[in-house]
Chains A and B, each alone.
Chain A
């Protein structure tokens, strides 16, 4: 097949566009024109990337189970590290999510970002390029380069355009994730030294010994659990979300968190199967704690963004549950849940951004009765709230249902606990909705806010369509995810069938909690 190197094009197009944005200049007094040009240029750049993304999706063979659109060039000759790209049914949707959310972010910042627009747009375009690279990389060092490179633009986005406490939040975000990631780097090097390759497909085919797997798994876990984020290393997320500008939160919740889940699916689970089984129960209990604990914390939040941030942690709990159930439904559900959460949480942060732009507060108590003066907003907010709650017919339902189904097959008790998370989820989201949208209009300024502008509507409409579309036709995603997941599941069934290799969560594992402390 003679295809253009579409993944490389998608990675470098935003970078080229960012370079062009950097070169836009104007005379004194022409600042407005310059700003306009910058905005248009970045929007078109990201839309072009989106077009390439759709083209890639069109040409994606849903039945094939291996990697597609592969590209491989020598990179570090002496070390045998190559520039290897490729996607399978899992990564294709994460790339689509990234290219879909970036233009939305640029549109969402159209009027709300007033300072240093040039740098802002460059940061987002670079971020887009790195995100696509993370999901497309098939070489572990290349993956790490993109995975870690994301920190630079995100640090600047939170730190420069963030809220009052932005310095603290950006530091916390950066150092927390860096600490986890560097341990993963050591694990990648360990794998490289053990197997002599950094090629992900080769690494998947040649697992290392069990004792080594356990250590490497823990190092990977340190990175991905922070990125997910899992309880108890989630505390950077609420801070980062609260301080980040709206578009920053959208990308953070929409894509960056998924890198953790994607990492589990691409590294921990297929490369370290025995260790994953060994630690599965431990991860599942942590996920359940995350679901219940963060849902309860979300219930008492007074800050809208913080509430949604905690809800993200809870929703990510379902993802890890699904992944570590090692069942077809669980894994498919995990991927679906990540995609659906990417759309819904992005939309919810945009909803917060809409009212924040008008009133400059995120305090829930300052709003109320918005349904009277902002009916269209109330409708969109309702769609996304219900999606987040997991109402059948929305995308949220499919993901939660499938991952719980998978969990139920693996461990009934855990599934029972996790299900309470759905009830709690409904509780905090509906409380948020009631307090903001219904009730008396106590605050004059909130009552005078104008309804959505055309621009805002045009941002919300595609998101709302996606929520319903994915909810009604989940097969669009599931059928493509399925071949990749089947491979993983059959691998695990083979391991579990061999009795001498069945590992249990034994008492010798008690010290794991201490390892977690870092």
Chain B
């Protein structure tokens, strides 16, 4: 205690320094250097991941208890870095194709990344707020990155207003908790609450406000309204980024809160999450059926997937948390793979994003079409693909905690979800051919797709490393 332990956040420090370096480079070199900065940002994420792996993952506190480093934070940071690498590698070609290749893009991604990594390490409501705002501000700008496009501007405005609202709620909730407990330190809050005979109503209200803010970030129903609009309006590479990384960070933070400071109030938050989980599953699977824009479809798909993750959290055991981590890992792989194909959808130099635009994809480009089909089967949870196992462990944890109704609803929702995933396959394979897409898939997308496919196929053969890592990480939370 009381130590700075600054070496434990070396990856974040390294990223902050390189981020500023990239900014300087961009300022002096202008937009010519965008692709250089993009790829070097990818490289710096890789280096950060190496630094992270080399670091000490035993539970230790940093900067006078403001941050914590433990197995859970380590695994979540690794997932975030993987997501950052994947989404940045996917973006480069698209930025140039849309003529929005400005050097701020990779710099913003780096800063958002630092914010997210700090989020899952937060051990104090103030560091939590700082980290959350660092990533949110970067994300608002990213959503508006296509500044000449009305839709992009609209999406960013919506995102910003709702995000600001949720930040306000978060601060209000934190101030309530501080008022009733007298501390913003996670450990103190947890110990104080655990020693009270009952949770003070003020703390419960504060906790609800904090949870609402978190629900905004992970877009759980009923706080999901921004998601489809932002996903649709933002440039597709930003959508890919939104769908992959912030979700992981926000869920990590949510889990840290629920099993840390809010653990004594489990009875109270359990009901809230139970409802949000069911609502997300139902809305995510039914609303997606009516979509004809593939980005909106993925927005609802991600809402539904957050519903599954919440099932694992509601289970309230280390099994459940471990299952959520595995689920997030597989979700990351599948979403990154899918977006590498969505970003490929261009006709005559213009990005197309209707589902019907995929018709005849199987004839024109069988390899990509089959990859997409495999990803969709995986997303709908059909074995032997990885998506099935992600859901399997979540349901296992749910049944172990005797959440029979939730498990049944979740699994029935997956059948409904299968319907809209199948629709994509149907359009690609069964419908009459439309014109082919523009050729040319760059290196970044190819690699992301290849890695994603090998994870989707290979998980069944080599699952133990990932499972064990997730379980160890989950245990460190409790």
Contact between chains at A78 and B411 (CB < 8 Å): no
Contact between chains at A76 and B463 (CB < 8 Å): yes
C-alpha gap A13/B120 in the complex (Å): 45
Of A30-38, A172-180, A454-462, A496-504, which stretch is located at the interface?
A172-180
A518 to B, closest residue via Cβ = B412
C-alpha gap A315/B239 in the complex (Å): 53
Taking CB atoms and an 8 Å cut-off, the chain B residues in 451-478 that contact chain A are 460, 463-464, 467-468, 471
Q: Does A234 contact B (CB under 8 A)?
A: no
Taking CB atoms and an 8 Å cut-off, the chain B residues in 387-425 that contact chain A are 388, 392-393, 395-396, 399-400, 407-408, 411-412, 414-415, 418-419, 422, 425
Of B82-90, B268-276, B376-384, B440-448, which stretch is located at the interface?
B376-384
Closest chain B CB from A126 CB (angstroms):
10
Q: Does A430 contact B (CB under 8 A)?
A: no
Q: Does B366 contact A (CB under 8 A)?
A: yes
Q: Does A465 contact B (CB under 8 A)?
A: no
| Chain B residues whose C-beta falls within 8 Å of the C-beta of A352 in the assembled complex | none
C-alpha gap A124/B467 in the complex (Å): 32
A171 to B, closest residue via Cβ = B422
| Chain A residues whose C-beta falls within 8 Å of the C-beta of B467 in the assembled complex | 76-79
Q: Does B430 contact A (CB under 8 A)?
A: yes
C-alpha gap A119/B366 in the complex (Å): 10
Q: Does B429 contact A (CB under 8 A)?
A: yes
Taking CB atoms and an 8 Å cut-off, the chain B residues in 261-294 that contact chain A are none
C-alpha gap A367/B370 in the complex (Å): 40
Of B400, B414, B418, B471, chain A has the most CB atoms within 10 Å of the CB of: B418
| Chain B residues whose C-beta falls within 8 Å of the C-beta of A151 in the assembled complex | 382
Q: Does B426 contact A (CB under 8 A)?
A: yes
| Chain B residues whose C-beta falls within 8 Å of the C-beta of A167 in the assembled complex | 426, 430
Residue of B411, B415, B460 near A145 (CB, 8 A) is: B460
C-alpha gap A178/B471 in the complex (Å): 29
Contact between chains at A159 and B418 (CB < 8 Å): no
Residue of A166, A182, A193 near B411 (CB, 8 A) is: A182
| Chain B residues whose C-beta falls within 8 Å of the C-beta of A469 in the assembled complex | none
C-alpha gap A145/B457 in the complex (Å): 13
Closest chain A CB from B237 CB (angstroms):
30
Taking CB atoms and an 8 Å cut-off, the chain B residues in 221-253 that contact chain A are none
Contact between chains at B411 and A149 (CB < 8 Å): no
Of A103-111, A184-192, A343-351, which stretch is located at the interface?
A184-192
C-alpha gap A189/B411 in the complex (Å): 12
| Chain B residues whose C-beta falls within 8 Å of the C-beta of A186 in the assembled complex | 395, 399, 407-408, 411
Residue of B383, B384, B396, B422 near A193 (CB, 8 A) is: B396
B431 to A, closest residue via Cβ = A167
| Chain B residues whose C-beta falls within 8 Å of the C-beta of A183 in the assembled complex | 408, 411
Contact between chains at A175 and B418 (CB < 8 Å): yes
Q: Does A391 contact B (CB under 8 A)?
A: no
Q: How large is the interface on B (under 10, 10 to 19, 20 to 34, 35 or more residues)?
A: 20 to 34
Closest chain A CB from B453 CB (angstroms):
13
- Once A76-B463, A174-B422 are accepted as A-B contacts, the answer to whether A148 and B382 lie under 8 Å apart by CB is yes
Residue of B370, B393, B399, B429 near A159 (CB, 8 A) is: B429
B414 to A, closest residue via Cβ = A182
C-alpha gap A77/B322 in the complex (Å): 14
Q: Does A16 contact B (CB under 8 A)?
A: no
Give B348-383 as 1s and 0s: 1 = Cβ < 8 Å from A's Cβ atoms.
000000000000001000100010010001000011
Q: How large is the interface on A (under 10, 10 to 19, 20 to 34, 35 or more residues)?
A: 20 to 34
C-alpha gap A144/B384 in the complex (Å): 9
Contact between chains at B430 and A178 (CB < 8 Å): no
C-alpha gap A171/B424 in the complex (Å): 12
Residue of B366, B382, B411, B429 near A152 (CB, 8 A) is: B382
- Once A141-B392, A183-B411 are accepted as A-B contacts, the answer to whether A193 and B399 lie under 8 Å apart by CB is yes
Contact between chains at A185 and B471 (CB < 8 Å): no
- Once A79-B467, A148-B383, A182-B411 are accepted as A-B contacts, the answer to whether A192 and B430 lie under 8 Å apart by CB is no
Interface of B is mostly: helix
Contact between chains at A185 and B395 (CB < 8 Å): yes
Q: Does A160 contact B (CB under 8 A)?
A: yes
C-alpha gap A190/B392 in the complex (Å): 12
Contact between chains at A152 and B377 (CB < 8 Å): yes
Closest chain A CB from B364 CB (angstroms):
13
C-alpha gap A178/B407 in the complex (Å): 16
C-alpha gap A369/B465 in the complex (Å): 66
Contact between chains at A171 and B419 (CB < 8 Å): yes
Closest chain B CB from A489 CB (angstroms):
32
C-alpha gap A77/B468 in the complex (Å): 8
Closest chain B CB from A472 CB (angstroms):
41
C-alpha gap A119/B370 in the complex (Å): 10
C-alpha gap A159/B388 in the complex (Å): 22
Contact between chains at B408 and A159 (CB < 8 Å): no
Contact between chains at A185 and B392 (CB < 8 Å): yes
B373 to A, closest residue via Cβ = A156
Closest chain A CB from B389 CB (angstroms):
8
C-alpha gap A167/B399 in the complex (Å): 35
| Chain A residues whose C-beta falls within 8 Å of the C-beta of B377 in the assembled complex | 152
Closest chain A CB from B179 CB (angstroms):
42
Residue of B370, B400, B411 near A185 (CB, 8 A) is: B411
B381 to A, closest residue via Cβ = A182
| Chain A residues whose C-beta falls within 8 Å of the C-beta of B429 in the assembled complex | 156, 159-160
B423 to A, closest residue via Cβ = A171
A75 to B, closest residue via Cβ = B463
B398 to A, closest residue via Cβ = A189
C-alpha gap A160/B366 in the complex (Å): 13
Closest chain B CB from A217 CB (angstroms):
16
Taking CB atoms and an 8 Å cut-off, the chain B residues in 190-243 that contact chain A are none
| Chain B residues whose C-beta falls within 8 Å of the C-beta of A148 in the assembled complex | 382-383, 388
C-alpha gap A41/B420 in the complex (Å): 35
| Chain B residues whose C-beta falls within 8 Å of the C-beta of A160 in the assembled complex | 362, 429-430
Contact between chains at A179 and B415 (CB < 8 Å): yes
C-alpha gap A335/B388 in the complex (Å): 31
| Chain B residues whose C-beta falls within 8 Å of the C-beta of A146 in the assembled complex | 383-384
Closest chain B CB from A176 CB (angstroms):
10
Closest chain A CB from B368 CB (angstroms):
14
Contact between chains at B464 and A78 (CB < 8 Å): yes
B400 to A, closest residue via Cβ = A193
| Chain B residues whose C-beta falls within 8 Å of the C-beta of A152 in the assembled complex | 377, 382
Closest chain A CB from B304 CB (angstroms):
15
Residue of A145, A171, A193 near B388 (CB, 8 A) is: A145
Closest chain A CB from B294 CB (angstroms):
19
Of B362, B383, B395, B425, chain A has the most CB atoms within 10 Å of the CB of: B383
Contact between chains at B430 and A174 (CB < 8 Å): no
Contact between chains at A175 and B468 (CB < 8 Å): no
A118 to B, closest residue via Cβ = B366
A141 to B, closest residue via Cβ = B392
Contact between chains at B384 and A149 (CB < 8 Å): yes
C-alpha gap A151/B464 in the complex (Å): 26
| Chain B residues whose C-beta falls within 8 Å of the C-beta of A170 in the assembled complex | 426, 430
Closest chain B CB from A185 CB (angstroms):
7
Closest chain B CB from A397 CB (angstroms):
38
Residue of B393, B418, B460 near A178 (CB, 8 A) is: B418
Give A190-210 as 1s and 0s: 1 = Cβ < 8 Å from B's Cβ atoms.
101100000000000000000
Closest chain B CB from A162 CB (angstroms):
9
Given contacts A76-B464, A77-B467, A77-B468, 10 further A-B pairs with CB under 8 A are A144-B383, A146-B383, A149-B382, A151-B382, A171-B419, A171-B422, A182-B411, A185-B411, A186-B411, A189-B392
- List B residues at the A interface (Cβ < 8 Å): 362, 366, 370, 373, 377, 382-384, 388, 392-393, 395-396, 399-400, 407-408, 411-412, 414-415, 418-419, 422, 425-426, 429-430, 460, 463-464, 467-468, 471
7 closest A-B pairs by beta carbon, nearest first, are A145-B383, A182-B411, A189-B399, A77-B464, A179-B415, A145-B384, A148-B383
Listed by A's residue number, 8 A-B pairs whose Cβ atoms lie within 8 Å are: A148-B382, A155-B422, A160-B429, A171-B422, A175-B419, A183-B408, A183-B411, A185-B392
